[in-house]
Amino acid sequence: MAGHLVTALGASAATAEAFSDLATLRHMLRFEAALADAAAKAGLIPKRAAVVIAKACDPSLYDPVSLAAAARRSATLTVPLVKALTEEVAKRDAAAAGYVHWGATSQDVIDTAMVLQLGEALPPLLKAADGIVGSFAKLAKEHRATPMLGRTLLQPATPLALGQKIAGWASDIDRAKRRLALSFAETQVLQFGGASGSLTALGRDAEPVMKALAKALKLALPPGPWFTQRVRVAALAQDCALLVGTLAKASRDISLMMQIEVGEAAEPAGPGRGGSSTMPHKRNPVGAALVLSAATRAPMLAAAIVAGLPQEHERALGGWQAEWPTIATLVETLGSAVEAMAEVAEGLTIDPDALQANMDAAEAAVLAERATFLLARKIGKQKAGALVEKALAQGGSFVEALGQLDKELADEAALLGYSPKFVDRQLADLKRKR
């Protein structure tokens, strides 16, 4: 496992904690304790044994380093953990040790632990993403009619309201967040099928045991085990990547607007934020950098999960084993992006003077389309196009070269067209869906 220094730019501390060694052991042992209790309630094992097993399910009693080494020899962490748990129970009650892991299989423990970890990690990220949407929606409303230079193919184009650009960020982030919320909810199910999915070891008591186990872990009980049916996990992975991508779209725009020769926006400042090791004048878009870094990694991580969907028979060889570490890294990557963008969205500042100066500098690009259509009403589109092209070729002031339409071209409201109303529409849609 990479150290915290190596992963500092790729994972938020809060999200990484959900997949830490201690959290992993805690969730796996939660399953074992709950299973023992459920089996005892069904009369399959003595109640005293369940109590002893529960007391031994303390994650601080186990050594992650030795467990990790042993896991590589069995291709699953469950085998060495169950062995260690059995030994720990035997110290307390030799007879109780015979009832550890009753009727379960390795994948029951691993998959359920992963589900529980997702339940710990994702709700705070979804809430933070909702906060990002709210921050951008507020900023979009403030700049409902603030004109800015539109840019297509990285070149000056017609103007639009800054609020429309920001509302677009908010809309897509919200759309991705809602998709992730749905796919996350579908993952919150118990995995419990025993050796090959039939729970044969539990006999007629399979149903009460699995119901009690699901209830204890606060998970839904699916219609059947999903050992090699992994669409739930793959959908979650894809939606994590989509959310990172929507955050990165906003980050890309913000970083371009922050270039000093553009100067239209700035990330929030703070001690040590955005500095350079050699150039004290710099104010780097560090939040955008973290999000864009996440966006470089997330699609490949999600693709690895999707690539593992064709899993063999009732237990996969390789595809399943690739999921847990990949999902953990992907969710940590999402956490890094959400944490970085939450700070940016809340403190993003706009320079209206720079917005106007950049429009003034690209006068011809800003006005050419409108001038063409204003003239076309009087002299036809072909003649209007030729006249505008001639004015553009002369250089200097486009308006002066054109020699007319001064008042019409100076009409800022007309220049923005429907853009402010698009802001209203997008914000209304956000309010309705949130």
Q: Read off the tokens for 305.
A: 């999960």
Gap between the Cα atoms of 420 and 390, Å rounded: 32
Gap between the Cα atoms of 164 and 250, Å rounded: 12
User: CB under 8 Å to 15, separation ≥6 — which residues?
Assistant: 121, 124, 125, 331, 332, 334, 335, 336, 339
Angle between helical axes of 363-379 and 381-394 (0-180°, round to 10)? 150
Gap between the Cα atoms of 215 and 217, Å rounded: 5
Alpha-helical (H) ranges within 143-275 are 162-187, 206-217, 231-257
Q: Read off the tokens for 162.
A: 């800054």
**Is 425 marked active-site?**
no
**Is 276 marked active-site?**
yes
Matching residue, tokens 């579908």: 186
Gap between the Cα atoms of 162 and 246, Å rounded: 18
Gyration radius of the chain's alpha carbons? 29
| Residue 175 contacts residue 168 (beta carbons within 8 Å) | no
Gap between the Cα atoms of 17 and 305, Å rounded: 22
Q: How far apart are the first and last CA of the chain?
A: 38
Q: What is the DSSP string of 1-23?
A: ---TTTTTTT--HHHHHHTSHHH
Angstrom distances, CA of residue 189 to CA of 116, 149, 217: 9, 49, 10
| Residue 110 contacts residue 78 (beta carbons within 8 Å) | yes
Number of residues in the chain: 434
Gap between the Cα atoms of 235 and 238, Å rounded: 5
Single-letter residue type at 433:
K
CA angle 375–376–379, rounded 5-degree value: 85
Considering the candidates 178, 179, 273, 315, report the single residue annotated as catalytic: 315
Considering the candidates 198, 276, 397, 434, report the single residue annotated as catalytic: 276
Q: Read off the tokens for 433.
A: 């869906």
| Residue 126 contacts residue 180 (beta carbons within 8 Å) | yes
Residues belonging to the active site: 276, 315
